[in-house]
């Protein structure tokens, strides 16, 4: 079995969880003996058995791959859709079905709604996202596989140390992660917050706003610059989680936060935005904050979490990437056997 991995987001231009997911998936599959190659767009002679694309592959490329004898597996992050209510998701699915019956297909082709139905398998990070695929795109359940992300051994094997006074947030400094809103709430609640991450662009106005806040409140906001504690240094990042009083991620949406899983592996108490993905994965093993524009409400939730953190339950142990790869290999094998 030979697997070709594909993604449209160049790692040199973007950074984040998807890059880590793809890199670790390839490494873990190779560890268990699966032959894996990144797609070589310039190489017309490249061959394989499975074409695994991270993102929404255009429907016509799904068909091209299948005509060449490849089985197509789609992994897409559905964090944006996953924050919508069940009623809205069902309504949007109804709108899609009506549009397919009443609007010429040539006008809808760029939406690539058929991608999930044409693919041989769809892999999502949580059972909630499997339900999103069913409501939005009518994907049959037998085609959808819920498979959590993994965590590197540096986090799983990290040793406990005495926790300090800082809450930690590991995230890209971007509006979707709501780092500025979290920092403002931390200042109001007087809860020390350590931010580890960097913006996509240092000149981004949102990032500049956070940098200014950190300069104004050095006793409450700890930020050592975009080059400090790089996310590639996994052992050092594990030490950060172990030293922290708790982990906070109040993002606007997520698929399945790798940072939250890493913190969980280091037995760090969790405070997450009250969204379906978080409730599905962590249930009662985390605290939740409503998604709100009210700094006062966020500050109150942050203060309550800070005070309770030492006595909160330890999150469950996440899987490592090899355990995830073994489950993914079974999905590949089942796809290869199907007609």
DSSP for 31-84, please give it.
Answer: HTT-EEEE--TT-TT---SEEEEES---HHHHHHHHHTT-EEEEE---HHHHTS
Token reading at 67: 């005509």
> 3-state class of 6 per DSSP?
strand
Tens digits of residue pLDDT in 3-39: 999 988 777 666 666 788 899 999 999 999 999 999 9
CATH number of the domain where residue 16 is located: 3.40.50.2000
| Each residue's pLDDT tens digit, 263-283 | 999 999 999 999 999 999 999
CA angle 127–276–125, rounded 5-degree value:
35
Are residues 303 and 158 part of one domain?
yes
- Alpha-carbon distance of 207 to 35, in angstroms, equals 40
Residues 96 and 30 in one domain: yes
Asked whether the beta carbons of 313 and 296 are under 8 A apart, the reply is no
Give pTM, 2 decimals: 0.89
Range(s) of the domain holding residue 287: 153-311
For the cut 90, the answer to whether the pLDDT of residue 81 exceeds it is: no
Full DSSP string of 108-124: TGGG-TTHHHHSSEEEE
Q: How many domains would you assign to the chain? A: 2
Find, among 4, 71, 7, the residue nearest to 36 by Cα: 4
Query: Based on the domain organization, do 177 and 284 belong to the same domain?
Result: yes
Crossing angle of helices 295-308 and 179-189, rounded to 10°: 70
Give the 3-state secondary structure of residue 203.
coil
- The confidence band for 234, taking pLDDT boundaries of 50, 70 and 90, is confident
Percent of the chain with pLDDT over 90: 77
Structure-token match 């255009």, residue found = 58
- The CB density around residue 252, as the number of other CB atoms within 10 Å, is 16
Looking at the domain assignment, is residue 316 inside a domain? no
Q: Are 141 and 134 in contact (CB under 8 A)?
A: yes
Residues 182 and 135 reside in one and the same domain = no
pLDDT for 232 beyond 80: no
């Amino acid at each position: 079995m030979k697997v070709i991995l594909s993604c449209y987001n160049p790692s040199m231009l973007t950074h984040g969880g998807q890059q880590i997911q793809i890199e670790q998936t390839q490494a873990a599959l190779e560890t268990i003996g699966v032959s894996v190659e990144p797609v070589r767009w310039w190489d017309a002679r490249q061959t394989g058995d499975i074409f695994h694309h991270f993102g929404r592959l255009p429907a016509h490329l799904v068909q091209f791959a299948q005509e060449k004898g490849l089985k197509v597996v789609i992994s897409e992050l559905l964090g944006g859709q996953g924050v919508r209510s069940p009623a809205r998701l069902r309504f949007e699915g109804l709108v899609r079905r009506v549009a397919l019956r009443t609007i010429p297909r040539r006008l809808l082709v760029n939406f690539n709604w058929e991608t999930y139905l044409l693919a041989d398998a769809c892999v999502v990070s949580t059972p909630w996202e499997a339900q999103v695929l069913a409501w939005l795109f009518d994907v049959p359940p037998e085609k959808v596989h819920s498979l959590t992300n993994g965590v590197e051994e540096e986090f799983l094997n990290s040793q406990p140390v005495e926790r300090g006074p800082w809450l930690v947030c590991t995230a890209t400094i971007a509006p979707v992660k709501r780092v500025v809103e979290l920092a403002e709430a931390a200042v109001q609640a007087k809860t020390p917050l350590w931010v580890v991450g960097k913006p996509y662009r240092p000149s981004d106005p949102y990032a500049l706003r956070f940098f200014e806040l950190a300069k104004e409140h050095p006793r409450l906001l700890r930020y050592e610059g975009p080059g400090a504690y790089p996310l590639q240094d996994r052992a050092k990042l594990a030490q950060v989680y172990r030293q922290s009083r708790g982990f906070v991620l109040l993002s606007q949406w997520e698929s399945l936060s790798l940072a939250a899983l890493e913190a969980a592996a280091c037995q760090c108490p969790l405070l997450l935005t009250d969204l379906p993905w978080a409730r599905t994965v962590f249930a009662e093993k985390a605290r939740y904050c409503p998604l709100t524009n009210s700094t006062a409400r966020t500050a109150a939730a942050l203060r309550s979490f800070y005070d309770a953190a030492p006595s909160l339950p330890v999150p469950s142990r996440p899987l490592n990437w090899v355990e995830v790869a073994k489950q993914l290999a079974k999905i590949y094998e089942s796809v290869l056997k199907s007609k």
